[in-house]
Structure 1
Amino acid sequence: MFDEDDIEGLGEELYNRIYAQHKETAGKLTGMLLELPFAVLVQLLQDETQLTAAVNKAHKTLQEAQEPSKVKLIPEDNASTSSDSLGEQLFELVELYNTGHSQKITGMLLEQQKDSVINLLSDSKLLDEQINQALETLKELFSLVKQINQDHANDITGMLLEMDQTALNQILCDRSMLEAAVQKALSALTSDTTAK
């Protein structure tokens, strides 16, 4: 349909679709959506529901920016931003990528320092990079866990993803550490199941 060089054609297509609903702000909304990664834009054009959700979110952000009394997406005072609020905002952005692992990826990204998470909310290239990196880690971890324990690979992978990034990187590089972590997670999983 579109290739990466045809961002102008993609922009025109987006504008035409948005214009029908938002005549006054179609240009601004299109500009906001064009900040998203190319693959996400193509997906939005193929899925009307996702496009509508993305346009509505952009429209809401635009309205809030025009009403200074309301809180902006990223408040001036970072210290007052609650972790829950950051998590919700990050989840909404991750959800646009339609990876099928939005909750796990959001959880992985939230393991970072608060300032780093705030940067992700305002830098689409950095977000794109980190989502792809998290997705690769997720796939790699799942595949390794599946080799050790096929029956509970999903649950164990989910449990291991709650580790901090440094520990996660260590178990990805060290098979014996990974096996120990899988056994520990499996014990917790089976004791939790038998306790019920």
Structure 2
Amino acid sequence: MLQDEDLLAKALEKAIRALDRQLEPSDTLYTDEENVSESSDSLGDQLFALVDIYNTGYSQKITGMLLEQQKDAIIKLCSQPRLLEEQVNLALKTLKEQNVETCISDSSDTDDTERLGEKLFLLVERLDPVHATELTGMLLEMDPSTFPQLLTHHSTLELAVQKAQAALETFKSST
């Protein structure tokens, strides 16, 4: 951005719009709902511009998700920043969960399996740095449908690591 003045200007404009929205005293972005165009294309463009302010990296996908709602609900999103923010956060959470599931469901490829193992290893390493390699290997033998839970819910991961640690101790004491 420091080398490209146009890119810097656009980023600054976007940041200023976001700050202006947060500082508005009223709960509505528009003075009345009549200012929100009801043509589908225009409404989509307006919604995209509002979603893009959040700089999630998923503006098009989130806008598409939000446009699946009824027109009245979309108009309401355009006129109520807090509601829009809630919906953007919910959509972003959904997209991130889908990315984890996609990463796991596509893990038939060796590269994907390795990436999954690396992600899991980093989490296991925090819990048991000494045995992280063995424990990760044991966890990767589990049913692949459990991986989303392991990667997104710390308590589920802790429980699985504890069970793997117990199995590892049993194995070591029997040899």
Q: TM-score, normalised by structure 2?
A: 0.45
- Higher RCO (CA 8 Å, separation ≥ 6 residues): 2
Q: TM-score, normalised by structure 1?
A: 0.40
Q: Which has the larger radius of gyration?
A: 2
